[in-house]
Amino acid sequence: MPKLPKGMYRKGNAFYTRKWEAGKDRWIALGSDYEVACRKLREFKSGRTSSGSKATVSQVADGWLETWVATRRTPENGRKAGQRLRDYLKPYLGMKPISRVQANDLRGYRLWLEKRGLSPQTVVHVLADACCVFNWAVDSGFIDKSPFPRRLKPKIQEKPPKRLSDDDVAKLLALPESYGFTIRLALATGMRWGELTRARADHLQDTMLVVSETKSRKVRRVPLAHEPELLREVRSRVGRLVPFADANAFARRVRSMTGIAVFHVHMLRHTAACHWLERGGSLAALQQVLGHASIVTTQRYARLMDTHVAAEAARLAGRFVEDSVKVV
C-alpha cells in the first residue's frame, strides 16, 4: 500500500477524509478501494463531493448483497437477507436515492413493518439488515453518514426458553429407533438440527464429538462422557448418526407417535441447556457446548429458570442454618 495522500486516513479496510464543520471534525467516507478513494478525495478537495450520489437504495442494497453478504454470511443466511430486501426494504425505500434518505424515512419504515403484522423479532431482523446496508453504503462511499437513527429497533420482551416437560421427555425417550436415538443424542449434546444430521460416528474423538460445520463456522467439541450409555452406542455405529434430514417432517412424526401437542426440534436444544444447568453445570462450559459466540446468549437459560434459582436459594439457606448451628 503506497503512502496515503494528504488528507486521507485509513480505518480498518476503509478510507476517510475530514472536514471541519460546526466546530468539530466530520469524517467523510471514501470507500474501501484505494484508487476510488483517491479519486473521491480529489473530487472532495475540488468541491465536488460524493454526498449527492444518485444510486438508489435498491441499487446499493444489491451491491451489499453481492459483496458484503456473500463474503460474511452463510448461504442460508444470505438467502434470508435477500428475501428480506425483496419483501420489505425495496418496496418501501427502493426507488429513493440513498443520499436523500433521512432518519424519519427509516422511522416510517419501522412503523410500516409493524403495520404489516410482523413479529417484533422479524422487525428486528429486517431493521438490522437495513442498518447494515446503510453502514456499507458509508464504507463504499455512496453517502457520508448513515441516516439510521439510534434505538430504532424495537426491544424484544424476553421469554423463557421453550423447553420440554419431564413427562414429554419421558415420552420422547421411549420412542423406537432411530427416533429414540436421535432424541437421546440431541438431549445429551444440545446440537442444532443441522449439526445433528451432519454428525458421523467417525467424528467422535475419545469422549468428545467434534462438530465442524456450525452456525458460527467455528469447530467445537461436545462432551459425551456424562452419558456413558449413549457414548457406547455412538462408538458402535458407522457413518451418519442421524438418518433424518427434514426437521419439520421429523417433528410431525414425533408429535403423531407421542401425542405431544407442541414439539419442534429446537426444543431439544433448549431442554438440553436447562438440564445441564439443573445438574450443576457451569455457564461457561454450557457456552462452549452450545457454541454461543457470547455468554450473554447462554445466560438467558440461567436467568429464566426460576425453579433452578429457587433450589439454589434453598441450598444456600440450608447451609446458612447449618453454619449458625455450628457457631452456637
Buried b (16+ CB within 10 A) or exposed e, 275-294: bbbeeeeeeeebbebbbbee
- Does residue 221 surpass a pLDDT of 60? yes
The neighbouring-strand residues paired with 31 are 15
- Residue written as grid cell 429464566: 304
Whole-number Å distance between alpha carbons of 163 and 151: 31
Three-state DSSP state, 155: coil
Residues 118/36, Cβ–Cβ less than 8 Å:
no
Determine the average pLDDT of the residues in 193-206.
92
Whole-number Å distance between alpha carbons of 286 and 122: 27
The residues, any chain, with a CB within 8 Å of residue 205's CB and separated by 6 or more, are 221
Residues 140/172, Cβ–Cβ less than 8 Å:
no
| Sign of the C-alpha dihedral computed for residues 134, 135, 136 and 137 taken in this order | positive
Give the model confidence (pLDDT) of 69-93 as tens digits: 998 888 888 999 999 999 999 999 9
- pLDDT, position 50: 47
Better-scored residue on pLDDT, 160 or 232: 232
Better-scored residue on pLDDT, 310 or 156: 156
Determine the average pLDDT of the residues in 145-153.
92
219 — pLDDT class (breaks 50, 70, 90): confident
- Give the number of other CB atoms < 10 A from CB of residue 189: 23
Determine the average pLDDT of the residues in 12-32.
77
Whole-number Å distance between alpha carbons of 116 and 88: 10
Q: Which amino acid is at 120?
A: P
The neighbouring-strand residues paired with 15 are 10, 31
Residues 274/305, Cβ–Cβ less than 8 Å:
yes
| Sign of the C-alpha dihedral computed for residues 117, 120, 122 and 125 taken in this order | positive
- Structural domains for the chain: 9-45 (no CATH), 57-139 (1.10.150.130), 166-312 (1.10.443.10)
Could you please report the per-residue DSSP string of 204-228? EETTEEEE-S-TTS--EEEE-TT-H
Give the model confidence (pLDDT) of 238-257 as tens digits: 999 999 999 999 999 999 99
Residues 56/95, Cβ–Cβ less than 8 Å:
yes
156 — pLDDT class (breaks 50, 70, 90): confident
Determine the average pLDDT of the residues in 160-174.
91
